[in-house]
A and B are shown apart, each in its own frame.
Chain A
Amino acid sequence: SQTIHQWPATLVQPVGSPLSLECTVEGTSNPNLYWYRQAAGRGLQLLFYSVGIGQISSEVPQNLSASRPQDRQFILSSKKLLLSDSGFYLCAWSVREGKRHEQFFGPGTRLTVL
């Protein structure tokens, strides 16, 4: 069966510090991968998605970036965090075939920027 891992589970970082969140998927090949951010009362906002190694699409301009160095690894990064980057970050995957399939979510990372 497929599983998706995210780490760390929680993170407290000072403003201006760098960020690296990692997501890995097991039990599937060639998945589509996604990064979402969830802020209180605002639902989920798609940040990035990837359909293959090295292929990243950004949905929202911001000081975050994403990379996909391996087929089942997706990394969210920032060079300098802002207070507004605080939130709950969720990684998700879906099957490659078709554009309308359900997405499966990881456990999330709670990021607090102070």
Chain B
Amino acid sequence: AQSVTQLGSHVSVSEGALVLLRCNYSSSVPPYLFWYVQYPNQGLQLLLKYTTGATLVKGINGFEAEFKKSETSFHLTKPSAHMSDAAEYFCAVSDVSNSGYALNFGKGTSLLVTP
């Protein structure tokens, strides 16, 4: 089965600094990968996704992620953090096990942006 590991349950950056949230996956088949953002007491919103094709994927709110097969990684980046980026971020991989319908989520990374 596919799985995701998010390194760092909490990340703190200064406003204007680079945001880097790490995600590594394990998959026996070419993965479909996703990043979601969750603001307090809200549902998850899709930031970006990788399926096939270009390995650098651009999403909403200035975020992007790069699929690196050799490193089994899908790290999320943003050049300049904004206070409004403070939220919980989840990486997910599509499950192609027998059930075939689940997204396997990491445990999340809480991003704190300081002035």
Contacts and interface: CB of A to CB of B under 8 A. Distances in A.
Classify the secondary structure of B's interface with A: loop
Nearest to A9: B41
Interface string B50-78: 01000000000000000000000000000
B99 A59 contact: yes
Nearest to B6: A43
Contacts of B108: 43
Contacts of A90: 43-44
23 contacts: A6-B43, A32-B101, A41-B107, A43-B106, A43-B108, A46-B102, A49-B101, A49-B102, A57-B99, A59-B99, A88-B41, A90-B44, A94-B101, A99-B94, A99-B96, A99-B100, A99-B101, A100-B94, A105-B43, A107-B42, A108-B42, A108-B43, A110-B41
Please classify how large the interface on chain B is, using the bins under 10, 10 to 19, 20 to 34, 35 or more. 20 to 34
Interface string A40-83: 01111010010100000101000000000000000000000000
A107 B101 contact: no
B113 to A, nearest CB: 21
A57 B100 CA distance: 11
